[in-house]
Amino acid sequence: MKKFNVKQSTLLIVISMLTFYSLSFGSASAQSKDELSPVEQGIASIAIATAKGDTQLLNASLHAGLDAGMTVNQVKEELVHLYAYCGFPRSLMAINTLTEVLQDRINKGIQDQEGPAATDLNAGNKYEIGKEVLADLTGINNRPMAGYAKTVPVIEVFLKEHLFADIFKRGVLNYKEREIATVGALLTMGDLDPMARGHIGIAMHQGVTEAQMNKIIEMVETQAGPEKAYIGKLLLAALTDSKEPTPSSALSEIENLIFLRGEKLDNPVFTGKAYLNSLITADEVNTTAAGVVTFEPGARTFWHQHPTGQIIISISGTGFYQEKGSPKRILKKGDTVKCPPNTPHWHGASDTEAFVQIAITDRSEGSTQWFDVVTKETYLSQK
């Protein structure tokens, strides 16, 4: 096996089928009040990926949204809308990703519909127009001045004139669609409970049913994690007087883990997203290193080997482990692996579930040797 020459490269996350299974449509028949339409699913998914700042996930979301029937101008307008909630950096990064996606689809001969273009608001008193839009959104006229507006009055002007007048009156997306995007973004960013609760209420006033809101929250769980989704469930329960939700098994496991997730690994010998919490650093006195590695679904190492071997202890989720020439093993919580010295192997999460492991490695005879990427075919192979 040849050694891998470490270079910065784009590594694709194997997530599209998992994240967008619900966007594989048959006919465009009448929509159930319990289901989001294909376009609404696309809007929610793009908002979540944009707010998360995950360009690989966003790339897949944009392709799926366009495949679902979103027009090019609907996607563009959503990314303009989201700058008001995620900020310019997230929005601009998303627009750059859209540029790449549109060019890729042109190169593949895919003809997406442009759709109606947005219109600018050129006449009228923008402040009053914004007030009217907010009243339409919420169903409440003559709202009392909020505390933030009393402290910084100009922010109230910007909200009315720019957000609710300039942006909400541009067309292309209706109020319901804009609120679906807003809820997905706010829940994904997290720690914005008052705003998220307010916009969940507005979305439901605009026609999003409780069942549909739960679908949005399910998408947040798939794309952004169970912690973010659980907050959404709590906020929805408070608004609808529903029974307080039980934390998902995934969230319960996360909350019960002894170790924190750690820092994201910006390492070119990993495919997908992985995080490291270094517990013990090897030194001249103690040559053993230990760390907790969290792999998101689809994430895995490249082929590699350790001069003195390695011990892996599974502490959460479902993972894969494979030595060169041997069958792939499925690892569950409590499973252990004793990897022999100088044996090429790889390990990581399954394609549908995150995986957390403790890796214990002796560095006395040198550092890890890295080889080739684990291909999609090898990763998903049943052997």
pLDDT, tens digit, for every residue of 230-240? 888 888 888 88
Q: Minimum mean pLDDT among 105-119, 201-215, 235-249: which range?
A: 235-249
Q: What pLDDT shows up at residue 247?
A: 53
pLDDT of residue 30 exceeding 50, the answer is: no
Q: How confident is the model at residue 357 (pLDDT cuts 50, 70, 90)?
A: very high
pLDDT of residue 194 exceeding 80, the answer is: yes
Question: Which residues in 137-155 are b (16+ Cβ under 10 Å) and which e?
Answer: beeeeeeeeeeeeeeeeee
pLDDT of residue 151 exceeding 60, the answer is: yes
Q: What are the CA-CA distances from residue 302 to residues 4, 263, 378 (Å)?
A: 9, 19, 11
pLDDT of residue 148 exceeding 60, the answer is: yes
How does DSSP classify residue 141? S
Q: What pLDDT shows up at residue 252?
A: 53
Q: Is 277 helix (H, G, I), strand (E, B) or coil?
A: strand
**Cα–Cα distance measured from residue 173 to residue 109, given in angstroms and rounded to the nearest whole number:** 26
Q: What is the dihedral of CA 311, 11, 328, 344, to 10 degrees?
A: -50
Mean pLDDT within 282-293: 87
Predicted TM-score (pTM) of the model is 0.60
**Cα–Cα distance measured from residue 116 to residue 207, given in angstroms and rounded to the nearest whole number:** 23
pLDDT of residue 23 exceeding 60, the answer is: no
Q: How many CA atoms lie within 13 A of 163 on its CB side?
A: 18
**Cα–Cα distance measured from residue 175 to residue 171, given in angstroms and rounded to the nearest whole number:** 9
**Cα–Cα distance measured from residue 217 to residue 195, given in angstroms and rounded to the nearest whole number:** 15
pLDDT of residue 262 exceeding 80, the answer is: no
**Cα–Cα distance measured from residue 117 to residue 74, given in angstroms and rounded to the nearest whole number:** 8
pLDDT of residue 173 exceeding 90, the answer is: yes
pLDDT of residue 38 exceeding 80, the answer is: yes
H helices present in 241-273, as ranges: 249-256
Mean pLDDT within 61-68: 94
Query: Between vectors from CA 225 to CA 357 and to CA 83, what angle results, nearest 5°?
Result: 135
CB of 230 closer than 8 Å to CB of 247 = yes
Write the pLDDT tens digit of every residue in 99-125: 999 999 999 999 999 999 988 887 788
Q: How confident is the model at residue 248 (pLDDT cuts 50, 70, 90)?
A: low
